[in-house]
Structure 1
């Protein structure tokens, strides 16, 4: 028999090369304030991630460059199916707030298209919420993306993405220039120690199919759900100009149901270092 509680369950969806472990600071703060949460590991992530021996020290980059990736077979629909199942299960216990960060926004949107009746609110934390363009890959060609600092990180790539079906990044590099460039792009507000700890939580592969799939929200499904966007104003991975464009496009699609917008002055992943600030916003949404 289902037990219903007054408050919602926050279902948390991670971004590219990430996993449920990233949400630990947010989940701790939610728990301390009496809230339930569930952090998803999307297919091929978390303890199902692939860390070949060649990726470990001493690294064999030539061998790793041709190592097949299980994530090459993972699609956006696979991600959506997993999260739909989670939402259906937790919805038995009360309202559901679905939260996505970065690339996780594409999954959040498609879950909204699929089961809008089971979702009380969608929350995007500097996340891709596609409307006019079909995918993050398409949006990355737009002028609002120009302020990103990702270009130097191409040197982290290992292997041929087209042949592998994944983007593969060597997050275990010891090159000081690469570490500095990665920190500037991803988590500039961390200490060097915090940033290295963060890198050790990442997994190297991410599905190209997920990044290129049609992830647009539909007005009659996704557009009917209350939604919030948390802008990260110092983000140099998904620049704030692009975040603002995504917000504006969503508002234009459903003018009677605009985004509830909040801002935090953090980098793309720096919000994990400010869990109290993030949870304070989440609490406002359910007050």
Structure 2
């Protein structure tokens, strides 16, 4: 068992470790062990205000406190490092981040590269030349519709100290915009089921220029990027741009690139292809 790697999964915005349960089941059936991390303020540490329950009180929700207020990217990285330190005692580790979780695993790779035997991004943010937020102004992100979250945003992020989204909205146009952005290729029932695993609050900090990929540390970890072909929230063009930028940063250690068909969330709902691809990383 000492030579068998442990997959350590890091979720994206508004998500939690529960997102990975179907994928972990598939990996387990293929003989691989894994752990999914809840970042601070996520999972059972999340806040679900009474005003978020039915019947909803959106005015009260707009001012309700949330436990994730003040959580930083450094806090997220520290949580993952703690898990990696324990997992590393059992053998190699493969650190996998999805979506916004890419910023966290990048920070981990910058700080503690010796804990990671392979780092893998699944349509995840890998900030190289720009900060994460700055990529949104680039041409590769022009197709992203900000209406997916804007209509469901609750409260003032600056006043709340966090991002809050009403995923329990019943507005058909808002649900349709979210589905188009994250899971256009899922059934309506599959999408609503996934939507009900999201938590309303997310932290504001996704890092600064100091948290971009660092060649001396992060850059020496073997790495994989898994492209999602039909991702409308992190489009293929920006995925490919981050791959190119990272490869230019460390040309002697470039991304191993894999591709999965589907949207931002499909690989988690129908995880067999992803499990097989990841299992291939463990066999190296």
So what's the TM-score if we normalise by structure 1?
Answer: 0.96
2:164 corresponds to: 168
Alignment partner of 2:272 out of 271, 276, 284: 276
Please state if 1:93 is matched with 2:90.
yes
What secondary structure, in the 3-state scheme, does the structure 1 residue paired with 2:34 have? strand
Q: Structure 2 matches for 1:95-114, cutoff 5 A?
A: 95-114=92-111
Measured on the aligned residues, the alpha-carbon RMSD in Å equals 1.2
1:181 corresponds to: 177
Is the 1:72–1:209 Cα contact (8 Å) retained in structure 2?
A: no
Alpha-carbon offset, residue 214 of structure 1 = 4.6
Alpha-carbon offset, residue 114 of structure 1 = 1.2
What secondary structure, in the 3-state scheme, does the structure 1 residue paired with 2:279 have? helix
The alignment covers a number of residue pairs equal to 283
Q: Deviations over 1:3-58 (max 9, x none)?
A: x5231000000000000000001100011011110100000000110000000100
What secondary structure, in the 3-state scheme, does the structure 2 residue paired with 1:201 have? coil
Is the 1:76–1:213 Cα contact (8 Å) retained in structure 2?
A: no
Q: Deviations over 1:238-276 (max 9, x none)?
A: 111110111000000001111001111111111112311
CA distance in 1, matches of 2:214, 2:19: 29
What secondary structure, in the 3-state scheme, does the structure 2 residue paired with 1:261 have? strand
Is the 2:45–2:67 Cα contact (8 Å) retained in structure 1?
A: no
What secondary structure, in the 3-state scheme, does the structure 1 residue paired with 2:20 have? helix
CA distance in 1, matches of 2:4, 2:271: 19
Q: Deviations over 1:45-84 (max 9, x none)?
A: 0011000000010000000001122212100000011110
Segments of structure 2 that go 5 or more residues without pairing to the other structure are: none
CA distance in 1, matches of 2:20, 2:148: 27
CA distance in 2, matches of 1:236, 1:271: 14
CA distance in 1, matches of 2:219, 2:267: 26
Q: Deviations over 1:195-243 (max 9, x none)?
A: 1100110001111123668530100100000000000110011111110
1:238 corresponds to: 234
Segments of structure 1 that go 5 or more residues without pairing to the other structure are: none
1:199 corresponds to: 195
CA distance in 2, matches of 1:211, 1:273: 29
CA distance in 1, matches of 2:11, 2:36: 8
2:149 corresponds to: 153
Alignment partner of 2:6 out of 6, 9, 26: 9
Is the 1:10–1:38 Cα contact (8 Å) retained in structure 2?
A: yes
Classify 1:120/1:193 alpha carbon distance in 2 versus 1 (closer, same or farther; 3 Å).
same
CA distance in 1, matches of 2:81, 2:276: 26
CA distance in 2, matches of 1:270, 1:276: 11
So what's the TM-score if we normalise by structure 2?
Answer: 0.97
Q: Deviations over 1:63-106 (max 9, x none)?
A: 00011222121000000111101001010000000000000001
CA distance in 2, matches of 1:213, 1:54: 37
Alpha-carbon offset, residue 286 of structure 1 = 2.4
